[in-house]
Each structure stands twice: as C-alpha cells, then as structure tokens.
Structure 1
Amino acid sequence: MTFANVGTLGALPGRRDEIVTILTRLNADLAEAGCLLYEVGVNEDAPDTVFVAELWESAEAHRASLQLESVRSAIAEAMPLLSGEMGGERFEVVGSPLRA
C-alpha cells in the first residue's frame, strides 16, 4: 500500500534555501528505492520552514531509503542547518480521485 510522509522542517534563520538546495538535488537512488513522489516547497509566510511531501511504494521502502548512502549524506549535510522544529504526518494512502 502506498505510504505518504508529509511534513515540515524548521530551518535556522536564513538557512532555508540551503536546505532546499540539498533536498532538491537529483537523486536517482530514490526512485530505485520505491519513491513515487518527493516534492519540496516553501511559503514566504513561513520563511524558516521547508515543506516536504513524499509518496513511497510502502512504509518499508521509505525506511530502507534511510540507509542509502546518498540519503544519509544529504541528511548529514542538512542537519547543521535545521532548528530541530519538525512536524508532519505519516499515513497509508487509501485512494485518490486521480487514478483507478
């Protein structure tokens, strides 16, 4: 069943765009690991927040992706830029009006 992870990452003041750059680098490993969608966004009303929406083939595929060297490297690079404020939800997708 498709797994969704939708959340926010708090950035240190003025560091949001650096985090966005790290998270939006092309990474073919994600698709190979079962990532169906990985979208990164910003909102000027929340200048120190990065929004991330992910869809995965399964929760297991998402967990396994955290062991990929490319993902671990991106996490290590982004960590010093984060404030520690994180939010979001994880859920199993049960349907969509966009597909059968």
Structure 2
Amino acid sequence: MTYVNVGTLGAVPGKRDELVEILTRRSADLEQTGCLLYEVGVDVDHPDTVFVAELWTSAEAHQSSLQLESVQRAIQEARPLLSGEMGGFRFDVVGSPLRD
C-alpha cells in the first residue's frame, strides 16, 4: 500500500533557501529505498516555511530511509536551519482516479 507523508518545516528567518537546497539535492538512495515522489515547495505568503510532499511504496520504506547515511547527513546539516516549527500529516493511500 502506498504511503504519503506531507509536512511543513519552519526555517530560521532568512535560511529557507539554504534548507531548500539541502532538501532538493539529488538522492539515488531515496529512490532505491522506495521513494516514489519527493517534492519540495515554498509559498511567498509563508517566507520561512518549506513544504514537503513524499510518496513511498510503504510506511516501512519511509522509516528505513531515515536510517540511510546520506539522509542522516542531510538531517544534521539541516538541523541548524530549522526553527522547530513543524506540521503535517501521514496516510495510507486507498485509491486514485488516475490508476486501477
């Protein structure tokens, strides 16, 4: 069953673009672990917020990705850029009008 993780990451004022740069680096590791989609976005009305939408083959694939060395390095690099404000939600996909 496909798994979705959608969230917001608060950035330290003025550091949003640095955070986006870390989150958008090419990562073959994520794809090999089961990531089907990883989209990062911004909104002019929320200048210190980064939006992330992830689609995974399973919740377990998402969880195992957090153990990857490359992901751990990115987390450590991003941590000083985070304000601590985070939000979001997760769910298992039950269907789509775009596929059988």
* TM-score, with structure 2 as normaliser: 0.99
Q: CA deviation at 1:68?
A: 0.2
Equivalent pairs counted in the alignment come to 100
Q: CA deviation at 1:97?
A: 1.0
Paired-residue identity, %: 76
Distance in structure 1 (CA, Å) of the matches to 2:75 and 2:65? 12
RMSD over aligned Cα, in angstroms?
A: 0.4
- Provide runs of 4+ in structure 1 moved above 4 Å: none
Distance in structure 2 (CA, Å) of the matches to 1:95 and 1:77? 36
User: Amino acid of the residue matched to residue 16 of structure 1?
Assistant: R
Residue 82 of structure 2 is aligned to residue 82 of structure 1: yes
Q: CA deviation at 1:65?
A: 0.3
* TM-score, with structure 1 as normaliser: 0.99
Q: CA deviation at 1:67?
A: 0.3
- In the alignment, structure 2 segments of 5+ residues that lack a partner are none
Which residues in structure 2 correspond to 1:43-62 (within 5 Å)? 43-62=43-62
Distance in structure 2 (CA, Å) of the matches to 1:97 and 1:19? 34
- In the alignment, structure 1 segments of 5+ residues that lack a partner are none
SS at match of 2:21: helix
